[in-house]
């Protein structure tokens, strides 16, 4: 798993590249746990190169979502591959998290 960050004034974008499992999710958790993450209005997760997600990866997002909402930070996923989106769907997480098709739609939120 490789995570590439891009930050602008109010938005933190994370490009996830690889597979998010019980081994690699520790890295993502470390990124989202940084206190400065809560200073942004939006955290955009670009999933174009995310090839796989397990419950450990989902758990990282589940565990941070409430804290983000309390701090007024919107967590938005975009460019999600169908097989990764399907894992969110199996649990019903697609209705609890904000997932949009494209970067332009993510930016417009």
Partner 1 sequence: MKNALRISCSRGNLKVVRDFVADSLLNYHLSPLQLNQIVLAVDEIVANIIIHANGEDESQHLDLAIDVNEQAFGIEIFDNAANLYKPSSYHEPDLPEFIRQGKKGGVGMALVNRIMDRVEFTTQGTQNVCRLYKSLVQQPQQ
Task: Give the footprint of partner 1 on this chain (CB under 8 A).
Answer: 19, 21-23, 29, 52, 54-56, 58-60, 62-67, 82-83, 86-87, 90-93, 96
19, 13 contact by CB (below 8 A): no
Q: How near is the Cβ of 55 to partner 1 at its closest, in Å?
A: 4
**Cα torsion for 66, 73, 93, 50, to the nearest 10°?**
-130
DSSP class per residue in 29-96: HHHHHSGGGGGSSEEEEEEEEEEEE-HHHHHHHHHHHHHHHHTTPEEEEES--HHHHHHHHHHTGGGT
With respect to partner 1, which residue has the nearer C-beta, 19 or 103? 19
Q: Is 15 helix (H, G, I), strand (E, B) or coil?
A: strand
Q: How near is the Cβ of 48 to partner 1 at its closest, in Å?
A: 16
With respect to partner 1, which residue has the nearer C-beta, 10 or 89? 89
With respect to partner 1, which residue has the nearer C-beta, 21 or 103? 21
Q: How near is the Cβ of 76 to partner 1 at its closest, in Å?
A: 16
Q: Rg of the Cα trace of the chain?
A: 13
Q: How near is the Cβ of 9 to partner 1 at its closest, in Å?
A: 27
With respect to partner 1, which residue has the nearer C-beta, 6 or 83? 83
């Amino acid at each position: 798993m490789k995570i590439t960050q891009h930050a602008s004034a109010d938005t933190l974008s994370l490009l996830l590249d690889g597979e998010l499992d019980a081994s690699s999710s520790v890295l993502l958790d470390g990124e989202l746990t940084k206190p400065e993450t809560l200073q942004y209005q939006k955290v955009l997760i670009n999933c174009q190169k995310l090839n796989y997600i397990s419950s450990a990866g989902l758990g990282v997002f589940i565990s941070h979502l409430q804290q983000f909402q309390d701090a007024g930070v919107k967590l938005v996923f975009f460019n999600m591959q169908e097989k990764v989106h399907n894992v969110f769907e199996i649990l019903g997480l697609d209705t609890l998290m904000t997932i949009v098709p494209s970067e332009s739609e993510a930016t417009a939120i």
